[in-house]
Chains A and B, each alone.
Chain A
Amino acid sequence: MSTLIIGLSLSFLLFLLSAGLTLIFGMLGVINFAHGALYMLGAYVSYQIVQITGSFWLGLLFAPLIVAALGALIEIVALKRVYSRDHIFQLLLTFGLILVIDDATKLIWGFDYKQVPTPEMLTAPVALFGSQIPSYRLFVIAFGALVSLGLFLLLDRSKWGMIIRAASSDADMARTLGIDVNQVRTGVFALGSFLAALGGAITAPLVPIELGMGFSVIIDCFVVVIIGGLGNIRGAIFASLLLGMTRAVGFTYATEWVELLTFALLIGTLMFRPEGLFSYKGRSA
């Protein structure tokens, strides 16, 4: 039972991060290596807000907003200049961003681990089907599910989602319909940054906040994004569930097989279905 809970909470965290990554790729054509750094920044900023205000909830709300604003700035100042260049420039740029964000983090917060305490009301364990489940884990699942639902509603039902989908699939055609695609790109990068930071802020009470935390998670996100199909957000949710559950089950029953299984899945996908396990013709975003 607790394996299921851990798997689900991991899956939703993975989805928050990979959704941003895959949206950014779909719209901007850029693989954002700095996504993990934005996730880390979300955790640090929420830590800072908790330090100042004492409220986990204010951190959860404002850290993503602050990082989203930073994301918009990054897109406008830096990324905008490299869209028309070779992919290697985009790769180098987002890689350079990791170094900049890491160094800035060191300067501001130093090298020590930081911690965000679990919010008071979510500390008690809950009895569920005969096991004791940490209630914060349940909160992560419920919150992740809610945000995911909100994201799908935004993309599928709202005017903004329609614009993002259109501009992702044919930017020039969208332009002729009066859509300022440059603004849409900035908005999508900010949205992706928001989701990454939200992932960071919600993970903050579960793990030590440290410089390397973005790196390990970004690898898993790349796996999710590739298995789900690059730019395919529906694929990303299935792939997140697949990977999250695999990890949770693996860690419980066969720790040494987890990495092997994950990468076998990744390599298998790349070899036999490079468009992703969950893509069907012509669908994106």
Chain B
Amino acid sequence: MTLLALESCDVFYDKAQALHKVSLGVEANEVVSLIGRNGAGKSTILKTLIGLNRAASGRRLWKGDDVTALRADQLGRLGIAYVPEDRRIFPNLSVEENLRIATLMGRQGGWNLARVYDLFPVLRERSAQPGDTLSGGEQQMLAISRGLLTNPEVLLLDEPTEGLAPLIVDQLVEAMRLINAEGMALLLVEQNLRVPMKLAHRQYVIDHGAIRWSGTTADLQVNRAEIEKLISV
């Protein structure tokens, strides 16, 4: 079943068109990656999915229903969570408050504060600190955990491994694998193939605001040289 999809979406920033007739979808339980170089339109796609950008034309679908007109808070409550590119930790909330605020919408599921602390023990140690005192990697863990605690059906992750040390990246990859193994679908945005090749079942390649290629990770392996060209800087 397709959980979340865009259908032929055009998105503009003022007069500049950022997305051209973009269609894509995430199936239940699957890991999909969205790859493309800087400025390709990846973040714009995620923001359109979660309702922070409005499509000038086209539709947003949730389990086949048209949810184009819903606001971000309504989409969040449906079961879509967003881990933004710049993490956007609330600096004036403690680490624990950053987590607890995600539980307020009251969606039931397998993720709770204790389990998130088990997944990323460093967050438990830092629970009383202000959110903005964490290192980059810890902030990323916090942003992912905050998304998890809404107990979504699909988690949108915008470049979660960007700029982090290899050891932290490995830890995050393992966490994402575990999260998906428990049944959550992931839509993973990355600029390169390093992490997507480890995790994704299917992949979309985006360039200049349009989908240029899509297929399974095995297909991508076959066409790798051509795709590397599309995403290289």
A: residues with CB less than 8 A from B are 159, 162-163, 165-166, 168-170, 172-181, 282-285
The residue from A165, A176, A177, A179 contacting B92, defined by CB atoms under 8 A apart: A165
Whether A173 pairs with B88 at a CB distance below 8 angstroms is yes
Given contacts A162-B97, A178-B77, A283-B92, contact A172 B104 (CB under 8 A): no
Given contacts A177-B76, A178-B77, A179-B104, contact A165 B71 (CB under 8 A): no
Given contacts A173-B84, A282-B132, contact A178 B92 (CB under 8 A): no
Contacts of A180 in B (CB 8 A): 71, 73
The residue from B90, B92, B100, B104 contacting A173, defined by CB atoms under 8 A apart: B90
30 contacts between A and B (CB under 8 A): A159-B104, A162-B100, A163-B101, A165-B92, A166-B92, A166-B97, A168-B92, A169-B92, A169-B93, A172-B52, A173-B90, A175-B52, A176-B51, A176-B72, A176-B73, A176-B80, A176-B81, A177-B73, A177-B76, A177-B101, A177-B104, A177-B150, A178-B77, A179-B73, A180-B71, A180-B73, A282-B92, A282-B130, A283-B92, A284-B92
Contacts of A283 in B (CB 8 A): 91-92
Given contacts A165-B93, A282-B91, A282-B130, contact A176 B76 (CB under 8 A): yes
Closest residue of B by beta carbon distance from A173: B88
Closest residue of B by beta carbon distance from A181: B73
Residue interface bits B98-120, CB-to-A below 8 A is 1, else 0: 00111011000000000000000
Whether A175 pairs with B76 at a CB distance below 8 angstroms is yes
Question: How far, in angstroms, from A178 to B75 measured CA to CA in the complex?
Answer: 8
Residue interface bits B33-71, CB-to-A below 8 A is 1, else 0: 000000000000000001110000000000000000001
Whether B104 pairs with A169 at a CB distance below 8 angstroms is no
Contacts of B100 in A (CB 8 A): 162
B: residues with CB less than 8 A from A are 50-52, 71-73, 75-77, 80-82, 84, 88, 90-93, 97, 100-102, 104-105, 130, 132, 146, 150
Closest residue of A by beta carbon distance from B103: A177
Whether A166 pairs with B72 at a CB distance below 8 angstroms is no
Question: How far, in angstroms, from A180 to B93 measured CA to CA in the complex?
Answer: 18
Contacts of A166 in B (CB 8 A): 90, 92-93, 97, 101
Closest residue of A by beta carbon distance from B71: A175
Given contacts A177-B146, A178-B73, contact A169 B91 (CB under 8 A): yes
Whether A175 pairs with B72 at a CB distance below 8 angstroms is yes
Contacts of B90 in A (CB 8 A): 165-166, 169-170, 173-174
Contacts of B84 in A (CB 8 A): 173
Whether A175 pairs with B73 at a CB distance below 8 angstroms is yes
Question: How far, in angstroms, from A122 to B80 measured CA to CA in the complex?
Answer: 57
Whether B77 pairs with A285 at a CB distance below 8 angstroms is no
Return the 7 tightest CB-CB contacts between A and B, nearest first.
Answer: A178-B105, A175-B72, A178-B76, A176-B82, A173-B88, A282-B91, A178-B77
The minimal Cβ–Cβ distance linking B210 to chain A, given in whole angstroms, is 25
Question: How far, in angstroms, from A262 to B73 measured CA to CA in the complex?
Answer: 44
Contacts of B130 in A (CB 8 A): 282
Known: A177-B105, A178-B76. 20 other contacts (CB 8 A): A159-B104, A162-B97, A166-B92, A168-B92, A169-B91, A170-B88, A172-B72, A173-B84, A174-B101, A175-B51, A175-B52, A176-B52, A176-B72, A176-B80, A177-B104, A178-B105, A178-B150, A179-B105, A180-B73, A283-B91
Closest residue of A by beta carbon distance from B130: A282
Question: How far, in angstroms, from A180 to B73 measured CA to CA in the complex?
Answer: 6
Question: How far, in angstroms, from A284 to B131 measured CA to CA in the complex?
Answer: 13
Closest residue of B by beta carbon distance from A172: B52
Contacts of A174 in B (CB 8 A): 90, 101
Whether A162 pairs with B76 at a CB distance below 8 angstroms is no
The minimal Cβ–Cβ distance linking A259 to chain B, given in whole angstroms, is 34
